[in-house]
Amino acid sequence: MWNISDYYVLPLDTWIQDFVVDWLVPNLRPYFRAAQWPVQQLLVYLNWVLHSTPFPIFLIGAVALVWRIAGKHVAGFTFVALIVINLLGLWADTMTTLAMVLTAVLFCTVIGVPVGVLAARSNRFDIVLRPILDVMQTIPSFVYLVPIVMLFGIGLVPGIIATIIFAFPPIVRLTNLGIRQVSGDLVEAAESFGSTRRQLLLDIQIPLAMPTIMAGLNQTLMMALSMVVMAALIGAGGLGLTVYTSIGRLQVGSAALGGIGIVLMAIVLDRVTQALGKTSAASRRQ
pLDDT (tens digit, 9 = 90+) per residue, 263-278? 898 899 888 888 887 7
**Is residue 143 situated within a structural domain?**
yes
**Is residue 153 situated within a structural domain?**
yes
**Is residue 176 situated within a structural domain?**
yes
| Number of separate domains in the chain | 1
Mean pLDDT across the chain: 84
Predicted pLDDT of residue 243:
81
- Domain range for residue 92? 11-52+88-285
- Over residues 222-237, the pLDDT tens digits come to 888 888 878 887 777 7
Predicted pLDDT of residue 171:
93
**Is residue 112 situated within a structural domain?**
yes
Residue predicted with more confidence, 262 or 183: 262
- Over residues 198-214, the pLDDT tens digits come to 877 788 888 888 888 88
**Is residue 63 situated within a structural domain?**
no
What CATH number is associated with residue 195? 1.10.3720.10
**Is residue 62 situated within a structural domain?**
no
> Does the model's pTM come out above 0.75?
yes
Confidence of residue 110 (pLDDT cuts 50, 70, 90): very high
Considering only 109-123, 183-197, 253-267, which range has the smallest mean pLDDT? 183-197
**Is residue 154 situated within a structural domain?**
yes
Residue predicted with more confidence, 223 or 25: 223
Predicted pLDDT of residue 286:
53
**Is residue 69 situated within a structural domain?**
no
Residue 184 clears pLDDT 80, i.e. is over it: no
Predicted pLDDT of residue 5:
63
Closest CA to 243 of 93, 119, 107: 93
